Chains A and B, each alone.
Chain A
Amino acid sequence: MSKTKKTIISLLIIAGLIAVIPLFTLKGAEFGGSDDAGSKVVSEITGSEYEPWFTPVMETWIGGELPGEIESLLFCVQTGIGVGVIAFLMGRLVERNKIENKKNKIK
């Protein structure tokens, strides 16, 4: 295995660990969004429950809050689009590299 590969793999492992460790060390934590925490601070500062003056368009369209499952579905779609594009292009680049290397060898 080349040195670059080793570096990349160890970097990815570190990134994965940073992401996962809180889940195990903070048992029972809620892991809500820091978004909600933000709105709590808003009501703390203004001294009253803040009433947002505009509801998200999606919630207006479907007449209610977006169900949690659907929300995670849409988030997955977003991830999927991104990963798809990256993987496809990266694959193309890798193949192109291979072909070019071959050509250079023949020359």
Chain B
Amino acid sequence: MNKKEKRIVALAAAFTLVFGVAPAANAMHIMEGYLPPQFCIIWGVICVPFIVAGYLSIKKTLSEHRRAITILAMAGAFVFVLSSLKIPSVTGSCSHMTGTGLGAILFGPSAVSILGIIVLIFQAILLAHGGLTTLGANTFSMAIAGPFVSYGIYKLCRILKINKYVGIFLAASIGDLFTYCVTSIQLALAYPSENGGVMVSAAKFLAVFAPTQVPLAIIEGILTVVIIIGLETYAKPELKGLGLVNGGED
């Protein structure tokens, strides 16, 4: 084999590797049928008030700022994209981001529960990823708990007068990470360890999810900041309506 041929073989091998790896990935969310029925029902019921609040919140925002619907669609699409990208992580397994931080910052946490549940239903039905029986639990972790933490951190950073972009970065990445903490706790509640109970098994699940998720949370933070910078440049009127950009303030 001469040098050129070798290079072609190497390229072909790399190609195979990349595409052979991708379909094997099967990231987080609690798997279909992995939660006992009573837990599915409890988590589902817990979600209901948030979904209702989300519906009302979106309705109110849209009736006040008709044009914000563009931004809402973008926030929804952002969740769609980020939760479909499975990214390799330092632990040697893949996971994906949630993308819910952006919506939480722009529209408040309850609105995101609607965006999140749309994505989760899509993935549960078509992709066998997550599941219909675990929809309640997954909605709670990804579309409710995560966004609420994001929103809280964002507001806290505003109060503490931390640089806005740093605040957005922190909000999105910690919200993403928190989603996985909640998932771990949900699994732990359903499967308490025999010696040590819920806490021990929560730690075990966290040990699986957390290290994988940290780099992804950072990526999510960065992407959220990028999108917000983009929106600030091109969609100032809408953001003003949503109270994110206040006149001349940075």
Contact present for B28 and A33 (CB under 8 Å): yes
Interface: B246 (CB within 8 A): no
Contact present for A75 and B94 (CB under 8 Å): no
Nearest-neighbour CB distance to chain A for B146, whole angstroms, equals 16
Contact present for B32 and A33 (CB under 8 Å): no
Contact present for A31 and B76 (CB under 8 Å): no
Contact present for B187 and A42 (CB under 8 Å): yes
Interface positions, chain B 104-135, Cβ under 8 Å from A, are 119, 122-129, 131-133
Interface: B233 (CB within 8 A): yes
Nearest-neighbour CB distance to chain A for B21, whole angstroms, equals 5
Q: Residue A90 contacts which of B81, B126, B218, B234 (CB distance < 8 angstroms)?
A: B234
Interface: A104 (CB within 8 A): no
Interface positions, chain A 8-57, Cβ under 8 Å from B, are 8, 11-12, 14-15, 18-20, 22-23, 25-26, 29-42, 44-47, 50, 52-57
**CB-CB under 8 A for A82 and B78, given A41-B205, A92-B70:** yes
Number of interface residues of B (CB under 8 A): 76
Question: What residues of B have a CB within 8 angstroms of the CB of A44 in the complex?
Answer: 204
Number of interface residues of A (CB under 8 A): 65
Interface positions, chain B 168-221, Cβ under 8 Å from A, are 187, 191-194, 201, 204-205, 208-209, 212-213, 215, 218-219
Interface: B241 (CB within 8 A): no
Give complex CA distance A76, B92 in Å: 22
Question: What residues of B have a CB within 8 angstroms of the CB of A1 in the complex?
Answer: none
Interface: B86 (CB within 8 A): yes
**CB-CB under 8 A for A81 and B77, given A89-B70, A94-B234:** yes
Interface: B73 (CB within 8 A): yes
Contact present for B219 and A71 (CB under 8 Å): no
Question: What residues of A have a CB within 8 angstroms of the CB of B127 in the complex?
Answer: 58, 66, 71, 74-75, 78
Across the two chains, which residue of chain A brings its CB closest to B211?
A34
Among A38, A89, A97, chain B packs the most CB atoms within 10 A around the CB of A38
Q: Residue B70 contacts which of A19, A32, A93 (CB distance < 8 angstroms)?
A: A93
Contact present for B23 and A54 (CB under 8 Å): no
Question: What residues of B have a CB within 8 angstroms of the CB of A106 in the complex?
Answer: none
Interface: B53 (CB within 8 A): no
Contact present for A15 and B92 (CB under 8 Å): no
Contact present for B33 and A32 (CB under 8 Å): no
Give complex CA distance A85, B86 in Å: 20
Question: What residues of A have a CB within 8 angstroms of the CB of B222 in the complex?
Answer: 11-12, 14-15
Nearest-neighbour CB distance to chain A for B95, whole angstroms, equals 5
**CB-CB under 8 A for A35 and B31, given A45-B201, A68-B24, A86-B77:** yes
Give complex CA distance A91, B62 in Å: 22
Question: What residues of A have a CB within 8 angstroms of the CB of B43 in the complex?
Answer: none
Give complex CA distance A8, B88 in Å: 23
Question: What residues of B have a CB within 8 angstroms of the CB of A81 in the complex?
Answer: 77, 80
Interface residues of A (CB under 8 A from B): 4, 7-8, 11-12, 14-15, 18-20, 22-23, 25-26, 29-42, 44-47, 50, 52-59, 65-66, 68-69, 71-72, 74-76, 78-79, 81-86, 89-90, 92-94, 96-97
